[in-house]
Structure 1
Amino acid sequence: MREVDPRHVRRSAGQRRGPAPADLAASPFRVDRDRVAASPFFARLGGVTQVVSPTGSGLLVHNRLTHSLKVAQVARAIAERLTAQADVAVLLRRLGGCDPDVVEAAALAHDLGHPPFGHIGEQVLDRLARHRFGLPDGFEGNAQTFRIITTTDVRGPTVSGLDLTTATRAAVLKYPWTRLSHPQPHPRTMAILPRGAGEPPDMPGTGSAKFSAYVTELDDFTQARAPFAGRIDPWQQTVEAAVMDIADDIAYAIHDLEDFHRVGVLQHATVSAELNAWQSGALELAGMETTELDKQARRPGCSLEQLRRRLHAKDSWVVDDEAFAAAVGNVRRELVEGLLAAPFDGSVEAEQAVADFSARWTARLVDGVAVLAEPHPRAAHAVLSVQHWHEVQVLKFVHHRFVLARPDLALHQRGQARLLTALVEALDQWLTDRQEAARLPRRLHDLVELADAEYTTLFGLAPEVLVDATGEPPRGRDGVRALARGRAVVDFVASLTDNQAGAMMDALTGRSGRLWTDAFVL
């Protein structure tokens, strides 16, 4: 009997033979891709914010679904390019493989865990999970993605999750550790911290800022990583995860700039002033004291100098001032003097300019990906070249500085944060209302039962992983039940679209006169 490839193993191994009845493909990795694409959690991404919510605004901007499709396109292109090079392919096999179908499946899945309203929703749910419900894991979009594909999505061929192969599950693990406890020693204790493993400066003692699995999914996590033991370090991304991660960076850096050029938010004059001022005054800016630079942050050129210094502080292993200066020059020529030189007016010429900019930069960055046998701890085995890495940092800077830092966006996001906070509190109150508990949405009821079983098992086998910020484990059965309630509410809210979250809050507060809305199609 032929030995099973460990990269093909599913959690259901031994329970059934051959593909599930609904699977149309023979390749196990193609099956993974199809299962993700058919998931309702994937379809939901069409209603989830990328940067700004398109709902009701009339803006033609990326949402999480269109972003995920573009990440998948870029990721597959990188994987096919790398595996086509004979010498690189040998190294890839030694490191555990780089299958284009695995990379594409992981890219399609990578944002499944993003809650309503994007990153602001992630911050709100993490705060509430830790402080209101005492969940040591809190909430993290990447970990929520892993929970969905292994546990809460019920459209796969088994009772829970999509039953994906170990290779695809491992490729989704962008930050292959839990917040606090696994693996040991934990990456946040390393002398050189892997990217994302450090604790947030304003939240000491809370564990890694980024992580890709909750303790409830440790069995799946361990099984997914098993085929890569001895090939890559325990805290290191698989090559397939690294390719997905790079593709996400490329898509984010390019396509969000497209969006905000289209809607007139990204202005030629302000971006030009920032980049030109830094180029002409680089030596003067480099000599400024940090306190003085911070005081003058609004002066053109100063924010870009702050970026250069942050890169030196965090990634001195790769930062090169000549490469940084060249990247600023390239972005100025291509973006400022090229794309932004003429306002977007919806004409054929304007659309072609956007398409040309996107295609040219995407191809350029895809061609800049290489594979390393021994990467720096803050890098992965698949990396962008030094010059391309700097260009991505400058492109992302433009987006952060001239879009994300806008007060009008902040105003909008503060309202979204208040909405999500109120929604979580209202659902928690409903759960604890004995008179009304029987009329809970069935999905929320099922999530409570699922989480209760998970935390009961963990409390019996490894109570130390349930210790909260006070250093105390749950207090008996009531404490376990409280954790389960909290995780269920967070899972439920995180699975809503922007529209559903708003409509449900309107209904719970009596502001809506409609009995049936998409908030209840859950």
Structure 2
Amino acid sequence: MHQQHVDPRAERRSGGDVPVQPDLAAGPFRVDRDRVAGSPFFSRLGGVTQVISSTGSGLLVHNRLTHSLKVAQAARAIAERLNTRADVAVLLDKLGGCDPDVVEAAALGHDLGHPPFGHLGEQVLDRLARHRFGLADGFEGNAQSFRIVTTTDVRGPSAVGLDLTVAVRAAMLKYPWTRLSHPDPHPRHLPAPPRGAAEPPDAPGTGSAKFSAYVTELEDVRQARAYYAGRLEPWQQTVEASVMDTADDIAYAIHDVEDFYRVGVLQHATVSAELNTWLDRAVELAGLSAAELDAQQRRPGRSLEALRRRLHAKDSWAVDDDAFAQAVAKVRAELVDGLLAVPFDGSVEAEQAVAGFSARWTRRLVDAVGVVEEPTTRSGHVVLAVRQWHEVQVLKFVHRRFVLLRPDLALHQRGQARLLTALVEALEQWATDRHEANRLPRRLHDLVELAGREYAELARTDPSALVGATGDAPSGPDAVRTLARGRAVVDFVASLTDNQAAALLDALSGRTGQLWTDAFVL
């Protein structure tokens, strides 16, 4: 009797020891896609800010849910295109595979861990996790996504994570390292660290700026990556993770520009002045010293020149001045002279213009994706063609320069930062109040117990994993309890929507008289 061959990429965390739940799909990777899509953590993304809150803008703009759906759409299209190409089929197999169901599942799950208020919330929770609670790992949205699917989502068959396959868990590891310790040697020490692996220049000693797993999920990382040992470097993305990462870049570059055209924030005159000035005076601007460029940064063309120099410094493997100039000209023709030339007014013509812009650019970028066998450390195996890579950089620049740096957006974000800080402090005080501990929200109570077990085990087996930038290892049960409480509060707050976070703080601070509300569930 022949033993049935089991695909090692389809192995689950449980190893099959957990009773099988009645999944709808037959294929293991399709099952994973359904489990992610059915998760309450996925549903909540509809109430989490992408860049600006849809409730504040008065218009339909992308949230983390619609963003994730579009990333999944682009990721699947890329995987399907690559699989039809005979010239890369052998290479894809050698590197570990590229299944469309795997990349779609990973793309749907890649933002599960994003906290309220988008990247601003991520920065606030990281600061609080490290400085208030002493958590060496801090907080990172990608690592939180991995923690959810492996640990804190209780809707899987064993109430511990979603029990996903090896391939999908590995594909969610966009940055397959922890902040400080794994793998050894750590990629932040490489001569040219992978994207995200370097330490923030203003925070030396704190570990990688981006990472996809906390030390509490290290065993899950090892199990998910074991199949790829010998195929990929320990710090390299799998091909499927690289497809998801590329699709994320494509979706981000296009639909954020689309959103801010709709809202009326992206103005024709200012974007036109920036791009046209650089194109007309590129040689002159290239001759400016760094000090002169910095002093003139508010004048048109200077920010784009600063981007060109930054790309040379960070991504010399890909940057090409001719391709950069062509990309600026392409974006000027399509965005400035095309989309922005007529203000958005909600008409059929305006909606058609947005849809056409989005469809053209998505198709152009998805069609430009290829595979390289030996990429630079700054790139994954899946890459955009040189011309399109530069176009994405210019589109992202427009978004950053004319949206993210706006003072009115900063005004709202400062308020959101204060809200999250106050909420974390209020929940910590509640969790440490022995008279009220038995009335703690059940979800928070369960998270405290979970983290308590995790940190007690780490303190016993690998105390070095709990050492932060200070170099001090926590000692004694009280120190472990403090770490566990901090991680639990951060887990709890990160799982809220924007509105839930605001409503919960209103209730905790006595600013609302409403006792029963659908804004949060205790």
Unpaired runs of 5+ in structure 1? none
Q: What's the counterpart of residue 12 of structure 2?
A: 10
* Cα drift, residue 22 of structure 1: 2.8
What secondary structure is seen at the aligned counterpart in 2 of 1:518? coil
Q: What's the counterpart of residue 321 of structure 2?
A: 321
Q: How many residues align?
A: 520
* Cα drift, residue 55 of structure 1: 2.3
Give yes or no for contact 2:18–2:157 (8 Å, CA) kept in 1.
Answer: no
Determine whether 1:479 maps to 2:479: yes
Alignment of 1:226-241 (within 5 A): 226-241=226-241
What secondary structure is seen at the aligned counterpart in 1 of 2:446? helix
1: CA distance between counterparts of 2:312 and 2:206? 26
* Cα drift, residue 12 of structure 1: 1.1
1: CA distance between counterparts of 2:476 and 2:519? 35
Q: What's the counterpart of residue 216 of structure 1?
A: 216
Unpaired runs of 5+ in structure 2? none
Q: 4+ runs of 1 displaced by more than 2 Å?
A: 55-58
Alignment of 1:31-50 (within 5 A): 31-50=31-50
* Cα drift, residue 519 of structure 1: 4.0
Give yes or no for contact 1:112–1:144 (8 Å, CA) kept in 2.
Answer: yes
Give yes or no for contact 2:72–2:103 (8 Å, CA) kept in 1.
Answer: yes
* Cα drift, residue 56 of structure 1: 4.9
Q: What's the counterpart of residue 93 of structure 1?
A: 93
Q: What's the counterpart of residue 109 of structure 2?
A: 109
Q: What's the counterpart of residue 272 of structure 1?
A: 272
Q: What's the counterpart of residue 371 of structure 1?
A: 371
* Cα drift, residue 16 of structure 1: 4.2
1: CA distance between counterparts of 2:56 and 2:157? 36
1: CA distance between counterparts of 2:245 and 2:406? 27
2: CA distance between counterparts of 1:270 and 1:157? 54
Give yes or no for contact 1:419–1:505 (8 Å, CA) kept in 2.
Answer: yes
Q: What's the counterpart of residue 293 of structure 1?
A: 293
2: CA distance between counterparts of 1:67 and 1:187? 29
Residues 268-324 of structure 1 deviation map (CA, whole Å, 9 limit, x = unaligned): 000000000000000000000001101111100000000000000000111000000
Residues 138-188 of structure 1 deviation map (CA, whole Å, 9 limit, x = unaligned): 000000000000000001111200000000000000000000000000001
* Cα drift, residue 21 of structure 1: 2.9
* Cα drift, residue 366 of structure 1: 0.4
Q: What's the counterpart of residue 263 of structure 1?
A: 263
Residues 98-123 of structure 1 deviation map (CA, whole Å, 9 limit, x = unaligned): 00000000000000010000000000
* Segment drifting more, 82-91 vs 299-308: 82-91
1: CA distance between counterparts of 2:501 and 2:476? 33
* Segment drifting more, 106-115 vs 509-518: 509-518
1: CA distance between counterparts of 2:159 and 2:151? 9
* TM value normalised by structure 2: 0.99
* Cα drift, residue 50 of structure 1: 0.2
- Amino acid in structure 2 at the alignment position of 1:402: F
* Segment drifting more, 166-175 vs 52-61: 52-61
Determine whether 1:411 maps to 2:411: yes
1: CA distance between counterparts of 2:370 and 2:520? 47
Give yes or no for contact 1:46–1:63 (8 Å, CA) kept in 2.
Answer: yes
Q: What's the counterpart of residue 142 of structure 1?
A: 142
Q: What's the counterpart of residue 173 of structure 1?
A: 173
Q: What's the counterpart of residue 492 of structure 1?
A: 492
Q: What's the counterpart of residue 337 of structure 2?
A: 337
Give yes or no for contact 2:95–2:232 (8 Å, CA) kept in 1.
Answer: yes
2: CA distance between counterparts of 1:14 and 1:346? 52
Give yes or no for contact 1:54–1:61 (8 Å, CA) kept in 2.
Answer: yes
* Cα drift, residue 3 of structure 1: 2.9
Alignment of 1:411-490 (within 5 A): 411-490=411-490
Alignment of 1:346-365 (within 5 A): 346-365=346-365
Q: What's the counterpart of residue 61 of structure 2?
A: 61
Give yes or no for contact 1:55–1:499 (8 Å, CA) kept in 2.
Answer: no
Q: What's the counterpart of residue 391 of structure 1?
A: 391
Give yes or no for contact 2:18–2:158 (8 Å, CA) kept in 1.
Answer: no
Residues 431-478 of structure 1 deviation map (CA, whole Å, 9 limit, x = unaligned): 111111111000000000000000011110000000122211112111
Give yes or no for contact 1:173–1:237 (8 Å, CA) kept in 2.
Answer: yes
Q: 1:57 to 1:315 in 2, by over 3 A?
A: closer
Q: What's the counterpart of residue 76 of structure 1?
A: 76
Residues 172-229 of structure 1 deviation map (CA, whole Å, 9 limit, x = unaligned): 0000000000000000111111110000011100000000000000111100101111
* Cα drift, residue 57 of structure 1: 4.0
What secondary structure is seen at the aligned counterpart in 2 of 1:438? helix
Determine whether 1:509 maps to 2:509: yes
Residues 372-405 of structure 1 deviation map (CA, whole Å, 9 limit, x = unaligned): 0110111110001111100000000000000001
* Cα drift, residue 58 of structure 1: 2.2
Residues 466-512 of structure 1 deviation map (CA, whole Å, 9 limit, x = unaligned): 01222111121110010000000000000000000000000011001
- Amino acid in structure 1 at the alignment position of 2:484: A
* Cα drift, residue 87 of structure 1: 1.9
2: CA distance between counterparts of 1:167 and 1:322? 39
Determine whether 1:183 maps to 2:190: no
* Cα drift, residue 518 of structure 1: 3.0
What secondary structure is seen at the aligned counterpart in 2 of 1:383? strand
What secondary structure is seen at the aligned counterpart in 2 of 1:55? helix
- Amino acid in structure 1 at the alignment position of 2:154: V
2: CA distance between counterparts of 1:88 and 1:140? 34
2: CA distance between counterparts of 1:157 and 1:337? 54
Residues 236-271 of structure 1 deviation map (CA, whole Å, 9 limit, x = unaligned): 000000000000000000001111101111000000
Cα RMSD for the two superposed structures:
0.8
2: CA distance between counterparts of 1:519 and 1:469? 37
2: CA distance between counterparts of 1:141 and 1:414? 19
Residues 64-108 of structure 1 deviation map (CA, whole Å, 9 limit, x = unaligned): 000000000000000000001112111101100000000000000
2: CA distance between counterparts of 1:406 and 1:194? 30
* Cα drift, residue 230 of structure 1: 0.6
Give yes or no for contact 1:134–1:469 (8 Å, CA) kept in 2.
Answer: no
Q: What's the counterpart of residue 193 of structure 2?
A: 193
* Cα drift, residue 5 of structure 1: 1.1
Give yes or no for contact 2:153–2:159 (8 Å, CA) kept in 1.
Answer: no
- Amino acid in structure 2 at the alignment position of 1:351: E
